[in-house]
Structure 1
Amino acid sequence: MDSSELESRLRTLQKALLPLIQLVNRISRLETAFVSYIDPVAGRQQVVAVSGDGEINIVAGDELDWHDSMCRLIFNDEGWIQSRVAKRYPDSIGAKSGMNTFFALPVQYNNRLIGSLCGTSVNETELNTEQYEQIQLIAEAVSWQVSQWQRLIKLQRRLQTSRRHLKQAFQDKESLRMLSEQDPLTGLLNRRGFADLWQSCIEQESTDSDISVMALDFDNFKQLNDNFGHQAGDDALKALANILTLNIRDYDFAARLGGDEFMLVLPTCKRLDALQISERIQQQYLATLHGQSHTISIGVAVSEQGASDNLLLLADKALYQAKNSGRGVIIVNTFRR
């Protein structure tokens, strides 16, 4: 599937979604409503279709890092609407773009989060239970259409991976693969390498095996760079990467997804074992030179039913809860289909 065909499919999806989104405008009375596609593996969120002419500039095709997403903030707070965005999330993209009201309902397919149905306004607006229930029905109607888009995205990713592997077959395949999938600073996998291995976990299709995922993040990393310089920040990143490497088995894998975000995947690892490993990682980091001045927070998600993209979101949510609970906290959540 080439890019022109994918764009054609996107236009078809947008035409199908537009009447539903316009209905959300009428029910909510908010100026802007939109549907997004969420890819937890790539850590990206893409706006698929938009309705409304509000002051907040949201355009179909826009992409943003999931870490900065308003949907992530709402979902991790286990809510669905916030009518005082600037006060609740003062440093968010939403606050900076002028949002005062923002709601997000999950779009799910086969119990997997694949997108969101959202509305926003520059005004402070409360929605009642009846409006919520009506919009929830629309989110359910949107789910099948977005799931087809997800299927196309994954198909394109697999095709791109296959083409990449074919190209590398005529070159020094192993060295090129390592260079393209490795973070140059820490030597861990980068996001691309992580996505390939995670896809392998998904494709095993085992629903009765244990797997644990850890999301790790430095507390006040910007302050570390500001006070001691970027070299100190790089040294701290490498120190944590070294600790992760020392604590993984041959079939585990660790990645630096970007900035100070790390992910650790532990197949066949149960909840208690995952907690012990996370505590050991945290204590070993605290024992380093860098750990004397700041801490790391860890979010853990465990499943007894095999890998799922939702497991990554659950680990991210646990990390969000850990960082909001205080420095150096570990939160463990259990994934259930």
Structure 2
Amino acid sequence: MPQRQLYTSVALEQAARPLLLLVQHLTGLNTTFITRIDWKALTQQVVLVEGQLSVPVQEGAVVAWSDSMCRLLFDAKLEQSDAVPELFPGSAGVALGMQSFFALPVLSEGKTIGTLCGASNNLVVIKDHTLISLKLIADAIAYQMALDQQMQLQQKKVKVAEKTIDKLYQQAQQMENLAHTDELTGLDNRRAFQTKFEQYQLQSQTQGTALALMMIDIDEFKQLNDQHGHETGDQALQHLANVLAAVARQSDIACRLGGDEFVLAAADTDAQGLLHLAQRVQHEFKQQMQQSGLASSLSIGIASSVESALELLLQRADQALYKAKELGRNRVEIAG
């Protein structure tokens, strides 16, 4: 069986529904209900109904205030009528089969926030002393509705605050990513590499595992920029970044240090293990450049903690890279 849609809080329903039953008992009307008025939108919504089979008022139904039976009654300076078809021909009440109808404003701090209503398809006259009792019930409902509105307002504020916090968190995450990511290539930048590499060094020291890194440089990069323009140079940098991102393991650090200088660090790997990876990087970079109609190559220097002290790895890899350049470029050199 589908769950009934609630148009008000559980707390208000638990407090008000017995009062609607009491109104039925006091008046003899078939149907009793509570509405909420939105004065900004000039609409009226039915929030709770008891006995809707006789007069089919639907919970959740929304009408324009201009079409409201409550407005018609209030404009006529009445609190009840046992002649709805005669007094209000063509009204929504007549369409619903109402013969008798009453409506009392539900007031909070002097403002009408809703109505307490009753209707019947039979002729029912409500006596004055009963109307007094109904007004007391309307006051009790007003208190509950005001609390309900405050709760809903607080819930909206909480939701807005949560959305604001989520947005600020996302912005902070974006700023964090920007601070540690190279904008052109999407790889880690120098700052991110330094932070991660220090963790790798500590891990290598404490666990006694090897640590290796390769320094990578695009050969004749300045000439490539001068001959073909900076857009082509940027494309070459992006090609290299794509290759590094594709070949790197999840635990590796691929980074653009700056300019055309890149580095890839790998934990639990020695120089020979990184040599095969470096040769693959060279091959795939050449292929990507050829597909772009350009010829370019890489020089790579490799150092590992097996041959060099941890704190000298970057320096030793850079020296090996310089040696590869001196020996004609387009080659891989391992630091001795």
- Give the structure-1-normalised TM-score: 0.46
Question: Radius of gyration: which is bigger?
Answer: 2
The structure whose RCO (Cα within 8 Å, separation 6+) is larger is 1
